[in-house]
Amino acid sequence: GAKERGRNRYAFYSNDMAERAIERLHIEQGLLRAIAGDQLLLQYQPVVRLEDGQLVGFEALIRWDEPTHGRIGPDRFIPVAEECGLIDYIGAWVLRTACAQAVSWIRQGFEALRLAVNVSARQMSAGDFVTTVREILDETEFPPDQLDLEITESTLQSVDHSRQLLAELRALGVCISIDDFGTGFSSLSLLKHLQIDRIKIDRSFVQDLPGDANGVAVTEAIVAMANRLGLSLIAEGVETATQQEFLRKLGCDEAQGYLFSRPLDVRDVDMLIAAPPEHLS
């Protein structure tokens, strides 16, 4: 009967919660080994200018190659790293590694490349975040004005003094992008006051273009707003030529997505820079 089902459901949920807690613990312990054992790595996804397909830079994306489970994506372990506090260490590692790598690409001749690095809420809340960024820029000699720090709308909301923090980061010369834009809440005036540089339109809107009326309406509104506020725009998750053409006509500046390239290993980026294929140059 209903009572029995209720009990089963209760048992099911509590079981599930316990399993999730155990999985989190495994991930947490595994992350410690990952840090100690060099199991973390970065891939780099090309960002292209829509007008002419020119390669403008890369977004660094973290991966974890776990010896027995294989490759684990950031959606599975970044939230755990945030909860247990390892994100500060991992975040600094990502920034240092990406900046050092990108300096070598600049020296290989891709002088104007822009590098985007994701920053999580907890990482930004750390009292010494701005100092960490400054030290890494000094240490790696990466040009600050070629760095985009990607934060989300919810980070803006959850981090105390986010406005002050962003001002301090901008004083270092770095740019700020709002990632996954449209999936959280942010007022337009907030964006203006915070002096954001760039907005990334979330993949969930892009993937339905141009067939879905809501996707079209949201995307058009974001493009119009960004143009009025003087913000540059990147569309995420562009997978088809139709989406590319639609976004280009709408006036979106740049794009990322499987249509252009998946996230690449370092040696593939080396080759790309040495001899860019037709569609990226």
Residue 241, SS3 per DSSP: helix
Angle, CA 115 vertex, CA 37 and CA 46 arms, to 5°: 90
180 binds Mg ion per the rule CB under 5 A: yes
Residue 265, SS3 per DSSP: coil
34/49 Cα distance (integer angstroms) = 35
Binding site partner of 78, from ligand C2E, Mg ion, none, Cβ cut-off 5-8 A by kind: ligand C2E
Alpha carbon 162 to its chain's center: 18
Per-residue binding string, Mg ion, 77-106, x by CB under 5 A, is ------------------------------
Cβ closer to Mg ion: 180 or 253?
Answer: 180
Binding site partner of 237, from ligand C2E, Mg ion, none, Cβ cut-off 5-8 A by kind: ligand C2E
Residue 269 neighbours by CB under 8 Å, 6+ apart: 44, 58, 105
Cβ closer to ligand C2E: 80 or 223?
Answer: 80
Cβ closer to ligand C2E: 74 or 210?
Answer: 74
Cβ closer to Mg ion: 130 or 206?
Answer: 206
Binding site partner of 62, from Mg ion, ligand C2E, none, Cβ cut-off 5-8 A by kind: ligand C2E
Angle, CA 175 vertex, CA 31 and CA 203 arms, to 5°: 65
Closest CA to 125 of 154, 145, 100, 95: 154
Please list the alpha-helical segments (H only) found in 108-259.
121-125, 129-140, 153-158, 162-172, 188-194, 203-206, 213-229, 241-250
Q: Contact positions toward ligand C2E, by CB under 6 A?
A: 45, 61-62, 73-75, 78, 91, 94, 118-120, 150, 179-180, 203, 236-239, 256-258, 263
Cβ closer to ligand C2E: 78 or 113?
Answer: 78
Cβ 180 to Mg ion shortest distance, Å: 4
CA atoms within 13 A on the CB side of 57: 21
118 binds Mg ion per the rule CB under 5 A: yes
Cβ closer to ligand C2E: 4 or 75?
Answer: 75
Binding site partner of 46, from ligand C2E, Mg ion, none, Cβ cut-off 5-8 A by kind: none
Binding site partner of 94, from ligand C2E, Mg ion, none, Cβ cut-off 5-8 A by kind: ligand C2E
Return the C-alpha torsion angle 193, 198, 202, 206, nearest 10: 130
Binding site for Mg ion (CB under 5 A): 118, 150, 179-180, 236
